[in-house]
Chain A
Amino acid sequence: MSLSMKRSLMGTMVALAVGWTGLMPAMAADYPTKPITMLIGYKAGGQTDLVGRATARVMSEQLGVPINVVNKPGAGGAVAAAGLQREDADGYTIMFHANSVINTAPFLMKRVTFKPEDFEYAGMITAYQAGLVTQKDAPFDNLEEFVTWAKANPGFSYGSLSPASRMTMDQISQKEGLDVNIVPLKGGGDMINAILGKQVVLALSGGIHNNYPDEMKMISALTTFRHPSAPDVNTIGENGYPIGMDTRTVLILPKGAPRDILDTLANALKAAETDEGFKKIVATANVPIMYFDVDASYKEMQDSYTSNGAIMKNAGIEPK
C-alpha cells in the first residue's frame, strides 16, 4: 500500500518533470520516463488478468516506472485491441492478452480483421494448457479408449465452450462416426460444474482442470506441445488429428513501436521468468512459463496465425 503510494507519487513527479520539458517525441533511449498503461481485454479477476497483473508488477520493478493495469473487456479482447490500434506507438500504452485475439478471433468473428502484422510484439510469457478433460473415474484414459467407449455409448454429451471446441469434437466424431450431443457451456466455471456434476462426459478445458487433479483427468492435449503439467498425455496431433492450436499470453503494442522499446519491454518481461513472486502465482494457477523474446514472438504469431487459419478452413468454420 505505502509502496504503491510512493510509486505512484514518484510517477506523478516524473510525469510532471517530463511534462515541462516540452512535447518532444518520447526518446526511445531513455524509455520509459513516465507511467505505462497496460490494457487487459478481460474483466478483473480472471486468470489472464491475474497473470497480467503479476507481470505488470515484475515489469514495473524492472523498468522503474509504475504500470497501471486497465481492464477493457469485450469481444474476447478485440475491443481492447481495436482501442490499442488508436493509441500512440510510443510504448506507453501496451496490452497484455492471449494471442488468440489475433491468431484465432479473426477466423471466428467477421468484424475482427486483425492480422499479425497490424501490431508489434514485445515478448510472450505464459502458455495455456487446453485439453479434452473428463471425470477422474471415467472408464477411459486416452483418446483411443474414449473412441471405443463412445462407439459403445451413442448419445453421450460433450461440453463445448466455443465454435472452436465444437470443431474439435466434430472432427473426431466425423472421422469415427460417433453419435454425440453437444452441450453448449459458458465459461470455465460452467465447464467445471458440468464435469463434476457428470452432466457431460467430456469437455474442452482451457487449463483450469489442473486445479482439480483429484477430480479430473485430461485424455488429450489440444496444443502442439505436451503439457508440462501432464507430460504423459498425448497431444491431439499425436492422436492423428492435426488440429492442435496454441494460445500464449503476449505483450502487444500499436503498429510502429520502435524496436528498442520492444526490446526494453521484452527484457523486463524476461525477468518474470525467474521472479519468485511471479513463479509462485503462476504455479498456483497452473500456468506454465514459456518465455519468447521479440523475434520469437513475431515468428510464433505468424506461424500460429497461418496454421490456425488452415485448421479452421479445413473444418469449414466461417467467421460470423
Chain B
Amino acid sequence: MRRADIISGMVLIVFGLVMLFIVIPTQIDTAPDGFVSPSLVPNMMMILITFLAGLLIITTIRNKAKETQEDAAPPISKAELVAFLKLGSVFAIALMLYLWVAPLAAGIAIIVGSLVALGERRPFIIIVMPTLILFGIWLLFYKLLGTAIV
C-alpha cells in the first residue's frame, strides 16, 4: 500500500493541478457581478484534494514503518485486473448491441457474456438463466406493473 499511496498521491496532484488550471477555467464561465462565482466550490475542492494528496505523500514517506507483507503485494491482484477487463468488454459489447441492434440483445449479452467470461460452460445454464431472468423482468415490469422499461 505504501507505494500505491505515493503513486496515487502524485497522480492526484497532477489531476488537481490540471483541473484547477485547465479544465475548470475552460468549463465554467465566470458569473456577472453580484453573484458568487460558480467555480468557487469546484476550485476549493481541487485545492483541498491537491493539498491532501501532498500530505498523503509526505506522511507515507515519513511514516517509516517497515514494509509488511500486505504492503508488498500490489493493491490490485492480477485476477482482479483480469475480471475487470473481462467484464468491461462484456459491457462494451452489450452497449454496441444496444446502440446498433436492440436493447433486448444487449440484455442477453450482459447475462450470457458475463456467464461465459466467468467460466460457465454448461449450455443448459447459459440458455436457461437469461431466459428466466428476462422473462421474470418482463413479467414484473411490463405485465404486473404496466410500465415499459425501454
Nearest-Cβ distance from residue A151 to partner chain B, whole angstroms:
20
- Considering the chains assembled together, what is the distance between the CA atoms of A191 and B148 in angstroms? 34
Evaluate contact between B143 and A5: CB separation under 8 angstroms.
yes
List of A residues within 8 angstroms of B148 by Cβ: 37, 68, 70
Which residues of the other chain, B, contact A8 by a CB distance below 8 angstroms?
142, 146
Q: Which residues of A contact B147 (CB under 8 A)?
A: 68
Q: How many residues of B contact A (CB 8 A)?
A: 6
Kindly provide the distance from the CB of B30 to the nearest chain A CB, expressed in whole angstroms: 11
Whether B29 sits at the interface, judged by CB under 8 Å, is yes
Q: Does B146 lie within 8 Å of A5, measured CB to CB?
A: yes
- In the assembled complex, which residues on chain A have CB atoms less than 8 Å from the CB atom of B146? 1, 4-5, 8
Within B104-150, the residues touching A (CB, 8 Å) are 142-143, 146-148
Chain A contact surface mostly:
mixed
Q: Which residues of B contact A68 (CB under 8 A)?
A: 147-148
Say yes or no for A186: interface residue by CB 8 A criterion.
no
Minimum distance in angstroms from B28 CB to a CB of chain A: 10
Asked whether A86 is an interface residue with its Cβ less than 8 Å from the other chain, the reply is: no
Within 8 A of B (CB), among A1-20: 1, 4-5, 8
A280 within 8 A of B: no
Chain A CB count within 10 A is highest, among B142, B147, B148, for: B148
CB atoms of B29 and A320 under 8 A apart? yes
| Shortest distance between the CB of B94 and any CB in chain A (Å) | 21
> Residues of B contacting A4 with CB < 8 Å?
146
Q: In the bound complex, how far is the Cα of B37 from the Cα of A228, in angstroms?
A: 40
Residues on B with beta carbons closer than 8 Å to the beta carbon of A320: 29
Chain A: CB-nearest residue to B146: A4
Q: How far is the CA of A160 from the CA of B146 in the complex (A)?
A: 39
| Alpha-carbon gap, A68 to B142, bound state (A) | 11
CA gap between A70 and B147 in the complex, in Å? 9
A147-180 vs B: 1/0 string, CB under 8 Å? 0000000000000000000000000000000000
In the assembled complex, the Cα of A320 lies from the Cα of B31 at a distance in Å of 9
Interface core residue of B143, B146, B147 (most chain A CB under 10 Å): B146
Q: Which A residues are CB-close (under 8 A) to B142?
A: 8
**Chain B, range 22-75, C-beta contacts under 8 Å to A:** 29
Of the A-B pairs whose beta carbons lie under 8 Å apart in the complex, a sample of 11, sorted by A's number, is A1-B146, A4-B146, A5-B143, A5-B146, A8-B142, A8-B146, A37-B148, A68-B147, A68-B148, A70-B148, A320-B29
A residues near B (Cβ < 8 Å) are: 1, 4-5, 8, 37, 68, 70, 320
